[in-house]
Amino acid sequence: MRLNSPMTNPAPPALDIERLRAETPGCESVTHLNNAGSALPPAIVTQAQVDHLRLEESIGGYEAHARAQNHIDAVYDSVAALTHSRRDQVALLESATAAWGRGFAAIHNTRPLGAGDRVLASSNEYASNVLPILQLARSRGVTVEFIPDGTDGCTDVGAFTSMLGPDVAVVAVNHCPSQNGLVNDVAAIGTALRASGSDAWYLVDACQSVGQLPVSASVIGADFLSATGRKFLRGPRGTGFLVASDRAITELEPFPLDLHSAVWQSDGYEVASGATRFESWEKSYAALLGLGAAVDYALDCGIDALAARIQQLAGYARSSLAGVPGITVLDRGAHPSGIVTITHSSIPAPELAARIKSAGVNVSLSTPDYSRIDFDGHGVEGLVRISPHAYNTHDEIDTLVTIVVSLT
């Protein structure tokens, strides 16, 4: 499969769906189509956390840490394998927002952004990434410009290229936005950025793409690639990671430092050499080990196979829902992601989401404050998001569609 693209290999290895379901205890109790929110974890992910918590309980937190050190180190290798990067480029954090924020803060700490600096952001950028940029616009006069969408609804690479100039300091693009089914061509944007000779810092939000699509930090060419554990990766809540480029590691100094990201010396301090400079000292090692188990599980399944299955189920949901009177499928892009979004002509999105959930299917509601430019630009006041994972079935999609039909 082409990296960073939803295009599927014509013959990805088949997944054993019965086995995936047997390894996912939640499948017995819920129909969970909210994997873009927080997926059902495989039992092995929960087990990794419980085992470590029990070890902490019986021998002490620091002692458990020391005993699990090899497993903890291996999590960096797993994330590096997942993102086609090196372990010294990986920082483990508590969320995608924390990861993105650590990168952005390091950029601003190293060369403060201010009047005369332009930040270019995809129109579908996530609120938690846009808000710190808006803070600098308000407090320091940074200019924020949103990159227009192309005719297919995705970030327009040509328009982006024409916006570039020596005053562009930061480019922030979402790979798979939370609130629509599109996949931005973040590799083409990265290539266009570097071909222009720009030295702007490039931040890519891969929060919704890791675990559902192949993602290569090196092919994308991002200075910072941020992601979370709990969504399509099926890891624990409270986990996330950042993959930093060599340039970001050598040229940027995070703020604030702590005694893990730097060493306090008699005559000053020395910042850690790898991407651990973007981490903090204290962590939930149980959650971190759960993240490692989730990444290994996804790699064992095969990312291509997961991507193909998720695409198949999302496509089935889209085509089935498109035939329901009153329903509009909003997803854009030639190759949509595993996120399916709908509205109803007469039932407001909050009510539609609530009624589907009370009928027994987990879906979620997205509101304009998640991605203001995207929602306002398309006149959408709210939508229902359906996000299948590989362990879901066509029967579960049929159940959802039957519920939606019964509401109309």
Ligand X SMILES: Cc1ncc(COP(=O)(O)O)c(C=O)c1O
Residues within the interface to ligand X (CB under 6 A)? 95-97, 126, 128, 174, 177-178, 205, 207-208, 228, 240
| Nearest residue (CB) to ligand X, 126 versus 146 | 126
Distance from C-alpha of 348 to C-alpha of 354, rounded to nearest angstrom: 10
Spatial CA neighbour of 148 closest among 114, 116, 113, 189: 189
Tell me the closest approach of the beta carbon of residue 309 to ligand X, in angstroms.
Answer: 21
| Nearest residue (CB) to ligand X, 228 versus 311 | 228
Strand order in the sheet with 143-147: 90-93, 240-244, 224-228, 201-205, 168-174, 118-122, 143-147
| Nearest residue (CB) to ligand X, 55 versus 201 | 201
Bond preceding residue 256 cis, omega within 30 of 0: yes
Q: What is the DSSP annotation of 141-202?
A: --EEEEEPB-TTSSB-HHHHHHH--TTEEEEEEESS-TTSS----HHHHHHHHHHTT---EE
| Nearest residue (CB) to ligand X, 68 versus 233 | 233
Spatial CA neighbour of 31 closest among 317, 383, 341: 317
Spatial CA neighbour of 244 closest among 284, 212, 270, 276: 276
| Nearest residue (CB) to ligand X, 174 versus 341 | 174
| Nearest residue (CB) to ligand X, 320 versus 371 | 371
Tell me the closest approach of the beta carbon of residue 182 to ligand X, in angstroms.
Answer: 11
Tell me the closest approach of the beta carbon of residue 179 to ligand X, in angstroms.
Answer: 8
